[in-house]
Chains A and B, each alone.
Chain A
């Protein structure tokens, strides 16, 4: 069974690329457009009995940014342990501290690289049976 990944990013381009890269790597991707939408999709996935095995989120987003989103996910007991990767253009030293403070599991710095992404997911979510 392939890992289910929820990817949250306000850029359609990045969402498309995430979807493509994740699907090509054998994951089952779902995407959302911002933090608020991300929480909605997360709930839908949970209700369908297919909660994500890992979440990838951008930081700069309208309505609810990445930090707010991570806080909200961690606040739900059902998802308090789901690995969350931050995908951001922010420089790492500063990002690491902020991401970690908000409960992120790991981080990937843009530019977006599929190899790096898949590796990072395997690192935090383990390898699916795929």
Chain B
């Protein structure tokens, strides 16, 4: 069946639509939770669940239909004003939405979900309306009334209904439309035609009710029909033809001959139209993808967004309530294969490289800067940058879906540890590259869980400290100077530095008694193997520490920092590049090789003076930078390009500030230039290489490695940064 292919495509887009609907459900519930119980807000929520149910039904996703139906029914009570949208009720709805999300996912991936939680949530939901909701039964058939309208003219006798005679099976039908039948847009002609499809038919027109011409109103039913239908069809199939006009006409259907028996039992009736294929009315939506080459002529703004989230307005903070905007119809979007975008991104990358090559040739050719070639190149440069930004924007996506996932994490983890938590978000419309968003989910999940589990005090603890019993976890996103900054903030007790310190000493992560600044202690949380949890709780005992969080954020070219104030709370800030495709870098030379260092990790550059340098032990050299000694690291040595130099006097140095605010001085032979480079991943071909983040192609066509300075420094000796404390303290 060739039509299964477009069905598979529609099925896929159904799940995308589900994501959007779940998002608007979340939005609506959040709005309700904030006190907006406007009927349209409630309607949006209801419709979201309702639409999921409708689509799920079309694909025979029974589990999804079942849950959505019962969920929707409870919601309907709010819509009808029979149930108050209290905070507890809304909290339950949130749980319902979570389960719905799970069932959608499971349905999409063909997995089976453990029904224990499903049933528990349904039980709680249904308790709101006082009982179990009947599952939707196909109860749409009630032909019974038809037998009541006895038409005196109908008995065309000759073939009596009781006759088990030899005449062929069939029905004697008498049909006389009322005026209302015409008013509802029904047309007897079509009904008769439909009847004809069932078998042999002879029709006699009954004009007995036809008034005199002067009294004739064309819209009133004046004509009736007597029909002799010879058919193997069953009585309900015949009755079905008249389903829509039931009550709008006088109708009798009498079986004749060996007519197929009528309805044995009203409850066992099959859906009209599917009478002959008893099971699932759905065409098999299963296999293969294929082109949907059906032309699409309609002028309406068809929304077929390829992304789970439709594009929302500009990347600004404070998205606020846009559930109502959503109701007003999404913006026009185009559906594009991700591969095509990847190709475009790559091509633009080539363009950037090509432009760099061109610039270099122009310089080498000695063409003066005020020439038309140079100014043309200048414009070309600007255009390239604009194109590049626009292309990156195609992949950009609001962080909203991510934030909604986090709100679920807060709900789940707070109920697990028995804390009452309010989750506040801001800047949901902030856009980041899709790949970055995907890879942020795990680290964010961990940090949000941490905020609930470790960050916030217990309810008693909060009351004792004079705080409201409900803790607040805030997640914000914003664009700041070309980067995206995410913050996870709790209003808990702050980091208990004494405990952290003691723990670190106990685990041998730091020597006992080292003088340390507050921030340095806070940063101990990022050390591998560190955990402040007194015992491994359900939440934190997942084998993931903050060190893993930090390294996954670093892998995205990002940084994490902590600020904490005792009694007030803790904030984790994540700063990320807007895209993973381009990077502002410092091009340097070390040991005769050209390398690129991400600009974001360099805090300053300087030239080494003999007076500022100190020797510590055998191999460690230090440089004094504003009253602080910073270890010197020779990049060429670290990368194995050449042995250490006798003297570093006059060498150029990049001062690298690490996420924990410790610093290192990276010696290079020469700083070449500062420029944007296109990132080419190496992982696929070479796997992960310590100290190397990626590669790029330079203007002269040469390949240069892009360094991961933090990684390089860490592999040079993770204890080194602590040595600076000894001297600085």
Contact = CB atoms under 8 A, between A and B. Distances in A.
Given A16-B13, A17-B10, A104 B271 contact: no
B300 A126 contact: no
Contacts of A10: 47, 51
Contact of A13 (B14, B183, B294): B14
A84 interface: yes
Given A12-B303, A31-B300, A111-B281, A106 B327 contact: no
A113 B274 contact: yes
Interface string B263-307: 000000001111001000111000000000010001110011000
Interface in A59-113: 60-63, 81-84, 89, 91-93, 95-96, 100, 103-107, 109-113
B628 to A, nearest CB: 60
A25 to B, nearest CB: 11
A130 interface: no
Interface stretch (B114-122, B164-172, B184-192, B582-590): B184-192
A84 B304 CA distance: 27
Given A116-B272, A126-B189, A11 B141 contact: no
Contact of B184 (A37, A89, A104): A104
Nearest to A54: B185
Contacts of B23: none
Interface in A1-42: 10-14, 16-17, 19-20, 23-24, 30-34, 37, 41
Nearest to A70: B185
B136 interface: yes
A11 B299 contact: no
Interface string A108-128: 011111111001101111110
Interface stretch (B55-63, B201-209, B313-321, B407-415): B55-63
Interface string B227-247: 000000000000001011011
Nearest to A79: B185
B186 A11 contact: no
Nearest to A40: B300
B3 A20 contact: yes
Nearest to B136: A91
Given A20-B294, A62-B44, A126-B190, A11 B17 contact: yes
A122 B273 contact: no
Contact of A93 (B139, B271, B304): B139
B138 interface: yes
B194 interface: yes
Nearest to B219: A81
Interface in B601-656: none
A103 B184 contact: yes
B311 interface: no
Given A63-B327, A81-B185, A123 B244 contact: yes
B190 A123 contact: yes
Given A16-B13, A31-B300, A37-B300, A116 B57 contact: no
A10 B53 CA distance: 13
A89 B72 CA distance: 12
A120 B190 contact: no
B193 interface: yes
B578 interface: no
A109 B140 contact: yes
Contacts of B327: 62-63
A60 to B, nearest CB: 5
B190 A61 contact: no
Interface string B414-454: 00000000000000000000000000000000000000000
B10 A13 contact: yes
Contact of B282 (A63, A92, A111): A111
Nearest to B326: A62
A114 B142 contact: no
Nearest to A126: B190
A78 to B, nearest CB: 13
Contact of A14 (B58, B141, B185): B58
A92 B266 CA distance: 14
B329 interface: yes
Nearest to B52: A11
A98 B282 CA distance: 27
B67 interface: no
Contacts of A81: 182, 185
B13 A13 contact: yes
A12 B329 contact: no
Contact of B57 (A34, A84, A89, A124): A89
Contact of A103 (B17, B53, B183, B247): B183
Contacts of B184: 100, 103-105
A119 B273 contact: yes
Contacts of B137: 91
B231 to A, nearest CB: 16
Given A19-B294, A103-B183, A123-B191, A112 B140 contact: no
A6 to B, nearest CB: 10
A4 B246 CA distance: 26
Interface string B44-88: 101100110111011010000100000000000000000000000
A39 to B, nearest CB: 12
A20 B290 CA distance: 14
Contacts of B298: 30-31, 41
Contact of B271 (A63, A100, A114, A116): A116
Contacts of A112: 54, 57-58
Contact of B50 (A16, A34, A89): A89
B684 to A, nearest CB: 35
B248 to A, nearest CB: 8
Contacts of A84: 185
B194 to A, nearest CB: 5
A62 B45 CA distance: 11
Given A12-B13, A89-B53, A103-B183, A60 B193 contact: no
B304 A12 contact: yes
B257 interface: no
A95 to B, nearest CB: 8
B328 interface: yes
A115 B142 contact: no
A93 B140 contact: yes
Given A41-B298, A83-B185, A103-B184, A122 B194 contact: yes
Given A12-B17, A89-B54, A120-B273, A106 B243 contact: yes
Contacts of B190: 122-127
Contacts of A32: 300
Contacts of A12: 13, 17, 303-304
A123 B140 CA distance: 18
Contact of A126 (B193, B244, B246, B282): B193
A91 B140 contact: yes
A109 B328 CA distance: 26
B6 interface: yes
Given A13-B54, A41-B298, 17 more contacts: A12-B304, A13-B51, A14-B51, A14-B55, A20-B6, A24-B3, A31-B298, A62-B43, A91-B136, A110-B54, A113-B274, A115-B273, A116-B271, A116-B273, A123-B244, A124-B187, A127-B190
12 contacts: A13-B10, A20-B6, A89-B53, A109-B140, A110-B57, A111-B57, A111-B281, A112-B58, A113-B281, A122-B190, A123-B191, A126-B187
Interface of A: 10-14, 16-17, 19-20, 23-24, 30-34, 37, 41, 44, 58, 60-63, 81-84, 89, 91-93, 95-96, 100, 103-107, 109-116, 119-120, 122-127
CB-CB nearest 7 A-B residue pairs: A92-B140, A116-B273, A111-B57, A106-B244, A105-B185, A113-B281, A13-B14
